[in-house]
Structure 1
Amino acid sequence: AQHVLAELDRLTGSNAIIATDVGQHQMWAAQFCRSTRERQWLSSGGAGTMGYGFPAAIGAQLGNPEDLVVAVVGDGGFQMTMSELATAAINKLPLKILIINNSYLGMVRQWQQLFFDNRESGVDMEGNPDFVKIGEAYGIKGFHLRRAGDVTKVLKKALAYNDGPCIIEAEVVKADNVFPMIPAGAAVSDMLIDEPPASKKLKKPVGST
């Protein structure tokens, strides 16, 4: 996922308006997609509203028709508001929808791994659809991205397509974790900078059972 987002930033010259959903991809986008001006970064950072990214990108594209707009979304959050593909298609908005698909609710899985003995519950998205085919049902162009060696080629094709919206479904490592992170209720001094060793038992977040 990090490679895809870093290459997106490089190919766009850090000039795209980025609208993210909520989850691991949001954190990676914040780390790898640089902002060079105001109103270029749209993200639900405080409320953490899953489903925010794609509608926000639609609004940004309508308000800035000459700008490049990219929705960076996860496979979980995108399914909460992907019905708005109709809105993007009808209005022929040239926005790019980059789906970071790890077939998990990745941030929740990460917390379950780190703080709850890896007891996964309700996070496996094994029933995911083919997002490119869903886009095609709306008349939207789509690209599958399955190999690291194809990242640049696929992103270039998607960025060059301006006859309407397009979907890039990037299938990434399932169990990758994002750092740094601060456990709920903890102080900044308790920030986890990197993956803790397996032998280290982390305290459950404040308020957990």
Structure 2
Amino acid sequence: MERLLDLTRRIRARKEKRGGKGPEIIWQKVLFNYNDSPEELAEYQHTALDCGVDTLRICYTYTSEHTASDPDKLERIFPNIEILNNRDRSQIPEELLENAARHDCEPGDIFSVISRLYHWLDCGMSSREEYDEFSSLSLDDWKLYEPLSDLPEFSRFITMLSEHFDALSHCYEKRGNEKDAYRFSQVAYKVSKMAEAVVR
């Protein structure tokens, strides 16, 4: 644990030397019935502040031994917390979509956004078998997105993914990385076609 904390502090120090440029530091805590006490969550947030973390992601799932605590009653000490309440699969969190809309044109930043969006999908897995199947699918496979396709926010969700893959492709193109630029342009194209089909 101390090695992790030290690494986080060193990454933060390096970012500050570069004027704030660099990877976004995200800590994620998945809540279970053995790590969800108010005291532990408060300590977690204070430690994140001390280490210079950018974003805390608190995940509420319905997997085995999941927490019974209420996301709305979380005491917020840290200024930038993303709540992923995956027990409620009836909607895509507005907070997730709003945060995903804000990014700079740096590959690391765009990957961070994409990871947020995909994390919403994979946290819906209720078993190891489901997760293994999910993780083996390609980024342009409809099976990834189909479970959420009936939700009202889905069109916005998949359109945003397509836009971010396209932005990622342009980032790599500017850096002369033609291979990754082409790879992500193809993903962006295929995902955009899914988005068009949903809109129709």
> TM-score by structure 2 length?
0.35
**Which structure has more strand as a fraction of its residues?**
1
Structure with greater proportional helix content: 2
TM-score (norm 1): 0.34
Question: Which protein has greater RCO, CA pairs closer than 8 Å, 6+ apart?
Answer: 1
